[in-house]
Structure 1
């Protein structure tokens, strides 16, 4: 695959499909829920937006990674949770409403935090003199357009045509998975000469990051006294990142235009499906069906809707 086709066609299509699919599954009440029952969402956002990037910096600084791979690892931790987390949370019989809320809120907040975290990573691992800098104002505007616009469009369809939105959402999810697979395959083909080296150098690091991130989410949720469905949702949300966004930021000419920075996100995207499904299978076996729609922590009476 030519680099131009990957960065100019498949990346925008995949990211649009991912974010549109998220919006098709969102309603206004998902955002209002944080005001009424804030504790689970606050715990999840702290884990996602504060603790996870700190974990990324710690791992990238302590492991013998090439500078661009270390920066790519931190870039991934700066991104929000991926829409796939909602599906894995559902399979694990977790609090899907909380998962959807966390995905939505983290997608909004990281529009502003990504440039800050990424610039710190670029300065730390690639040197303060590097020209690979993200302008705060322009990057915020660009990320808002490629993420919040399709989410808003999906929410409008869901508001006025909920049945149509539900039908479209299923197809969009499969389309986004297909496009993500094409992107990952394209990146790996482009870097095939260094693929074995990348797997040896960053594969273990990304698996470790994935497992530590899930453990981080679970630990914070447990310390906060949240119920088991909410702990499950936060565990998955912190462990499954929006790899498509990370790959777009790293590879697109609109942003960093450095495909090497996308390698950690590509490998992580493959690994997180395996660990996520394994976690869902384990939780599914441990919890009875009747426990899926229990009242949420802080008295949240909203039942799962996916």
Structure 2
């Protein structure tokens, strides 16, 4: 198990590199990866099962001990990210499929990778974990609702079908993971050491499948989609930080809220787009998976470096947030 654990840690640290390499391979040789399409939802279910294995009752204590940052952060996440996506789609006049796909990513809960980025940023990890968990549990209600309100003008959105999909792909695997941890604690504890490797393989495979399915479209749409995704992620990180600053949260909490708002469970967006819309609608989610695993570590590196300089770091960070 030790070599698997080491491999898992290496995979987690080099996640962005693997995403880029496999995405490039899928673009150049799409025929080798298009078979992944039907497996996107099961692969995401595996990731969510792993999330269930790691959840503990203590993860929810911050909700009761200090509800303000948790609830405010989740409010900002489900309010800001869908609205930012809507505005970007309107301003850039994106085609209907891409507009809906971008809003769908914005309406998704926080991504599990955000917890690692918050840790590397010297942010409030318990707050991050709680926000990720709670936003994921709220996703069956808030994700379809946000998409129906903001994207129905582009393409027909059927909220109830989305609710059922999220329950099957997200909530059920999490509950199975919680049950496995409850009834097989020793075995599952050992298994958690390789969860990062499993998650990396699953997400990288999902991205490869979507890139392969969209290879012809990507040639024409790469620049607008990448621009929209970079703006979406960057504005989300910025406004998440500013909103937390407005509420006078501590620096570590501001970092956690910023990252939780800006980093989405884009794998869920991809799975829902493929299941209910079309491959083109999954493209923003796939590109988001690549990009936020580049921007997140870059931001974490900057903030982590500034954490060692006392007031200087605080001033530098405040300057970036403006």
TM-score by length of 1: 0.85
Q: Shift of residue 147 of structure 1? A: 0.8
Alignment of 1:270 with 2:299, yes or no, is no
2:13 maps to which residue? Answer: none
2:250 maps to which residue? Answer: 227
Q: Where do 5+ consecutive residues of structure 1 fail to align?
A: 127-131, 291-306
* Residues 290-301 of structure 1: pairs in structure 2 closer than 5 A: none
- Given that 1:157 and 1:164 are in contact with CA atoms closer than 8 Å, whether structure 2 keeps it comes out as no
2:16 maps to which residue? Answer: none
2:265 maps to which residue? Answer: 242
SS of structure 1 residue aligned to 2:244? helix
Q: Where do 5+ consecutive residues of structure 2 fail to align?
A: 1-30, 311-322
Distance 1:25 1:140, change over 3 A: same
2:229 maps to which residue? Answer: 206
* Residues 105-120 of structure 1: pairs in structure 2 closer than 5 A: 105-120=134-149
Paired positions, count: 280
Q: Deviations over 1:270-294 (max 9, x none)?
A: 010110000111111111499xxxx
- Given that 2:33 and 2:212 are in contact with CA atoms closer than 8 Å, whether structure 1 keeps it comes out as no
1:21 maps to which residue? Answer: 50
- Counterparts of 2:120 and 2:79, CA distance in 1: 27
Alignment of 1:53 with 2:78, yes or no, is no
Alignment of 1:133 with 2:162, yes or no, is no
Which of 18, 37, 52 is the matching residue for 1:7? 37
Greater percentage in helix:
2
- Counterparts of 1:165 and 1:95, CA distance in 2: 26
Q: Shift of residue 242 of structure 1? A: 0.4
Alignment of 1:280 with 2:309, yes or no, is no
- Counterparts of 1:19 and 1:116, CA distance in 2: 21
Q: Deviations over 1:112-131 (max 9, x none)?
A: 122222223442223xxxxx
* Residues 174-213 of structure 1: pairs in structure 2 closer than 5 A: 174-213=197-236
